[in-house]
Amino acid sequence: MENTMVHLKVNGIDVEVPAGSTILQAAKTANIDIPSLCYLKDVNCIGACRVCVVEIKNRRGLAAACVYPVEEGMEVETNTAAVRKSRKTTLELLLSTHNKKCLSCERSENCELQRLSRDYGVDEDRFINEGTRYEIDDTSAYIVRDNNKCINCKRCVAACKNLQSIACIGEIRRGYNTHIGCAFDGDLADAPCVGCGQCIVACPVGALTEKDNTQDVWNAIADPEKEVVFFTAPSVRATLGEAFGNPVGTNVEGKMVAGIRRLGNVKVFNMDVTADLTIMEEANELLDRIQNGGTLPMFTSCCPGWVKFCEHYYPDFLPHLSSCKSPQQMFGAVLKSYYCQKNNIDPNKLFVVSVIPCTSKKFEVTREEQRTGEYDDVDVALTTRELARMIKRAGLDFNSLPDEEFDNPFETATGAGAIFGATGGVMEAALRTAAYKLDGSTKALEFTEVRGTKGIKEATYTVGGVEVKVAVASGLANARAIVEDIKAGRKDYQFVEIMACPGGCINGGGQPYQPDTVRNNVDLKAIRAKALYDLDEKLELRKSHESPVMDMLYGEFFEAPNSHVAHKYLHTPYVKRGH
Amino acid sequence: MSEKTLIPFKGTPEQEAELMKVIEAHRDQPGGLMPTLQEAQGIYGYLPVEVQKMIADGLGVSLSEVFGVATFYSQFSLTPKGEHRISVCLGTACYVKGSDKILEAVENKLGIKSGQCTLDGKFSIDACRCVGACGLAPVMTIDDDVYGKITPDQVGKILDSYSKGGADK
């Protein structure tokens, strides 16, 4: 039965699709797009919004194409007068409870509701709009919810529950009073939310956005007392171009650096450098744990969403987390200690801006237990989207900018640092250096088994005579499955990499919006990741320990991996939280 | 904007033990949340935060899902019912006879809204749809007593008779 093909007609075109396909999928094979608002591939499929309705011959009423399975001999019409009228009315009803302040809305021009409203020529004032009904929840450091723009498609609820196994948001009440929120209509800041932002990138409208910190950065740039430095995470160069109309997977590293430099008198550093630094510390920590009977398996700690998840849901598991700070926090610590001392700068006057693909990092910069002085080591964490917004506001023609290099002394990084932005990348980078530490003559470089967008990957490597069993998971539902397997004794690993967002940072909650018309049809994760692996392949230095910047940092400041001074600046304890 | 009631939770160890048995019985049952909530309301009379948390932890579902179901069905109450339960009929006949003004008078007198309970636990108000006494519209019931053809200015006196401790009408 599995491979049975079903034959049907869509708008008179013969289509052949596997049994179990939906009408929406079948239509796509005939190059017919059926619009939808609640459907999002791999995330949400509930037939709730009624925008995808179609006519089926000999069937009464209209059917929701996103959930309706194909049948042999079926005849579907996707563009009849009845279908168009129904979709238009549905959109007009949605607009009756929608805050239509499109002019300044963050999603204007890529809002799925706006696009469909335009395509269907709706009358946005057909039904009386009661206006503001809900308070905006901007209590958390990472996500802002404006339910006055929400259309109750429940994509965010599905992302939180299905991808992340968290479900800290859900539908509340019923009928006209239905809205999305936390238990007891509480504040998001008090909920066991990890801030991953997968709800934001799933949202078809402007109901969910990151907490915008761009003004803080403009203020710092304008402040003559402040010296402003930026650094950009590995995956930002692989996605920023999308915000300026470039195809998915375009590496815009040079233009990104040039764009930031033109925002004001700022320096631009490469965060791949502290990805390398993380590997120096983490690979050594792993070997130390393996050789000296430490807590195993060791879990990576680069991903703030995963760390917060572990703190909320598996507090007893925290000793398994590497004590290494994330590359963002390491960079902050390096800048406010080593860099300030070397350049005679008061750390209070150095304003550090990280550009990251992540909303959870906005929480991470506020962690008091990670401070190295009486100040946050990173002052502001901007998402890829916020950086794009700043570049637009600065009036820069991004695509015409020259390609420029990062600033000294944090410009050179290795391929190992570059692949940090994709699931499996941290694991592979760590294995490259760990293998070298165990056997200096090793040729081991590419660990392809841990690559790819699969949710859970496993491999066993023998490096320097030591057998290392590893696992890689992305998406917190997969992380939960791995932790449960380990707790129950079903699995036994030495090293596990977790990234909260499916596919890793390249699919992070702070990455440029891609509407359903893109997300339903291409694998964003794979295409964006390819840009990073291509970069890795191109680089001469591909192992973190080969980086000259590592020699500089350890030679001048940190002495050696896991030294006392390295621990002071680059490692951290964690916080037990409840849920 | 929180939904939490201000009335303190007064659950007993006996009630909790009974709830744990209910949770145990529904733990691995698909769709076990609904019957658990129903039985929990039977035990406590309503579904306070504390009870919803115990159910969420016990069944291994998130608190927001428990809260979502509890607020979806009107049979579930998140606030306790008062010693005296006031019900104002907003059915068609009563409504055209001005029962909305009666409800408003009750709400003003007690300082709470429909669906809520006074802090001293004495009164709770609900709006209902037709008690089958349309000839007496507008109708209000308090516990098992029915008050028909009332006017807003009579509300104060009726309620006072209950606060004094007895229904000596």
Pairing mode, strands A380-383 and A350-356: parallel
CATH number of the domain at A215-570, out of 3.40.980.10, 3.20.20.70, 1.10.760.10, 3.40.50.1780?
A: 3.40.50.1780
- CATH architecture of the domain with range A104-210: 2-Layer Sandwich (3.30)
Query: For residues B109 and B156, is the Cβ–Cβ distance under 8 A?
Result: yes
Quick check: is A361 catalytic?
yes
Residue B1 in contact with partner chain A when CB distance is under 8 A: yes
**Cβ pair A170:B71 closer than 8 A:** no
| DSSP-H helix ranges across chain B | 13-26, 33-44, 49-59, 63-72, 92-96, 99-110, 152-163
**What digits encode the pLDDT tens for the residues A262-282?**
999 999 999 999 999 999 999
Contact list, B49 vs chain A (CB under 8 Å): 184
Q: Is the pLDDT of residue A550 over 80?
A: yes
Quick check: is A505 catalytic?
yes
**DSSP secondary-structure letter at A210?**
E
CATH number of the domain at B84-163, out of 2.40.10.120, 3.40.30.10, 3.40.50.620, 3.40.50.880?
A: 3.40.30.10
Domain ranges of chain B: 13-72, 84-163
In percent, how much of chain A has pLDDT > 70? 100
Select from A336, A411, A413, A346 the least CA-distant residue to A370.
A336
Q: Which of A150, A210, A505, A546 is catalytic?
A: A505
What is the per-residue DSSP string for B64-96? HHHHHHHHHSTT--SSPPPSEEEEEE-SHHHHH
ipTM of the complex: 0.90
**What digits encode the pLDDT tens for the residues B2-16?**
455 667 888 999 999
Residue A60 in contact with partner chain B when CB distance is under 8 A: no
Contact list, A183 vs chain B (CB under 8 Å): 52, 62-64, 66-67
User: Quick one: closest CA in A to B61, which residue?
Assistant: A167
pLDDT value, residue B79: 87
How confident is residue B169, by pLDDT bands cut at 50, 70 and 90? very low
Average pLDDT over residues A207-231: 98
**What digits encode the pLDDT tens for the residues A289-343?**
999 999 999 999 999 999 999 999 999 999 999 999 999 999 999 999 999 999 9
Residue A184 in contact with partner chain B when CB distance is under 8 A: yes
**Domain limits, CATH 3.30.70.20, in chain A:** 104-210
Distance set, CA A145 to CA A89, A195, A298, B79 (Å): 26, 12, 35, 27
Q: How many CB atoms lie within 10 A of CB A101?
A: 12
**Cβ pair A168:B64 closer than 8 A:** yes
pLDDT value, residue A362: 98
**What digits encode the pLDDT tens for the residues B65-104?**
999 999 999 889 998 888 899 999 999 999 999 999 999 9
Which one-letter amino acid corresponds to residue B78?
Answer: L
**Domain limits, CATH 3.10.20.740, in chain A:** 5-79
Query: For residues A83 and A55, is the Cβ–Cβ distance under 8 A?
Result: yes
**What digits encode the pLDDT tens for the residues A447-492?**
999 999 999 999 999 887 889 999 999 999 999 999 999 999 999 9
Q: Is the pLDDT of residue A154 over 60?
A: yes
Quick check: is A474 catalytic?
no
pLDDT value, residue B2: 45
**Cβ pair B2:A161 closer than 8 A:** no
What's the whole-number average pLDDT of chain B?
Answer: 90
Comparing B167 with A259, which gets the higher pLDDT? A259
Which residues fall within 8 angstroms of residue A374, CB to CB, at 6 or more apart?
Answer: A348
pLDDT value, residue A321: 98
Cα–Cα distance between B87 and B132 in angstroms, integer?
A: 13
- What size, in residues, is chain B? 169
CATH classification code of A5-79: 3.10.20.740
pLDDT value, residue B168: 46
Cα–Cα distance between B33 and B64 in angstroms, integer?
A: 12
Residue A191 in contact with partner chain B when CB distance is under 8 A: yes
What's the whole-number average pLDDT of chain A?
Answer: 96
User: Quick one: closest CA in B to A175, which residue?
Assistant: B72
**Cβ pair A184:B2 closer than 8 A:** yes
Name the token pair of A447.
Answer: 């660990």
